[in-house]
Amino acid sequence: MPRCINVTLEYDGTDFKGWQVQSGAPAGEDDTTAVRTVQGVVERALRVVTGRPIRIAGASRTDTGVHALGQAASFLLPDDVALPTADICLALNAHMEKDVATRRAEDAALGFHAQRDATGKVYSYSMICGRERSAVLRRTHWHVRFGLQIEPMRRAAAALIGVHDFTSFATRLAEAQAQRAEEGKAALETVREVRRVELHADPDYPGRIVMRLEGSGFLYQMVRTIAGSLVDVGRGFRPPEWLAEALAAKDRRQAGPTAPAHGLCLERVLY
């Protein structure tokens, strides 16, 4: 019997062209020097460790520059691969560059799929506000060049909680729907549940604000568009009530800008 494994991955997205293998090459044979993706690097390490081409399924196809503290990815290990689950992390970590690491490996039921079986995800979006940039946090924080008022941001964010159609916060939705129609697939569901939105001002680092968002799932660039919209509120460019109106409009043009990728981090996938 093959074994189904679910691994928890951490990566610094700075030097990756996102999660997804783009070459169309077979698993483990992706040319990671040309277009370096997280999936490509992990599959290459899996190939070295097991001697087999093994395709992995990530819970989230993170974009170029996006980080992860808790990405999940599942794969099938053929039954003749003698690799104890407890050794998978060390084995993979020995064959991957320092900017990606396996933090946990667990046995899962046959048929488990890291993306389809996820019941929710937690993302963070981190920023530094104020004129002066940061050196230590530059890879993981958006530098917003003006001061932000966090209380209006919190009031605005409360409107997101619950089950809503998040069309206003999705990028390239029309293209995605057109492509699905062409492929004969059902239209993409745009209703999602946001369970938690927190805005935390770091008392130890003046100007540092971290947004944490938990939801059933997220549309393309939804977390980044929420972050960009909340920054518009925090700088006083929009009143807090505006966010609820933007949400109700179901129109991407009514929401704020999409915040840059490098402030985003996939913190955890829930099962």
Interaction site with a second copy (CB under 8 A)? 10-12, 67-69, 89-90, 93, 98-104, 131-136, 138, 140, 205, 265
What is the maximum span of the chain, computed from C-alpha positions, in angstroms? 61
Minimal distance, residue 182 CB to a second copy, in Å: 37
Q: Where are the alpha helices (DSSP H) in the chain?
A: 38-50, 85-94, 150-157, 173-182, 222-234, 242-249
Q: At what angle do helices 242-249 and 150-157 cross, to 10 degrees?
A: 40
Q: Is 270 helix (H, G, I), strand (E, B) or coil?
A: strand
Q: How far is the CB of 224 from a second copy (least distance, A)?
A: 18
Are the beta carbons of 226 and 256 closer than 8 angstroms? Answer: no
Q: Which of 232, 227, 230, 225 is nearest to 252 (CA)?
A: 225
Neighbours of 80 (CB within 10 A): 9
10 vs 193, beta carbon nearer a second copy = 10
264, 66 Cβ separation under 8 angstroms: yes
Token pair 């946990």: residue: 104
Instruction: Tell me whether residue 45 or residue 173 sits nearer to a second copy (CB atom).
Output: 45
Residue 52 contacts residue 251 (beta carbons within 8 Å): no
In angstroms, give the least distance from the CB of 256 to a second copy: 26
CB nearer to a second copy: pick between 255 and 265: 265
Residue closer to a second copy (CB basis): 98 or 253? 98
Q: Least distance to a second copy from the beta carbon of 151, Å?
A: 24
108-111 contact pairs (CB < 8 A, 24+):
108/4, 108/5, 108/6, 108/74, 109/4, 110/1, 110/2, 110/4, 111/4
Q: How far is the CB of 144 from a second copy (least distance, A)?
A: 15
* Residues annotated as catalytic (active site), given as ranges: 63
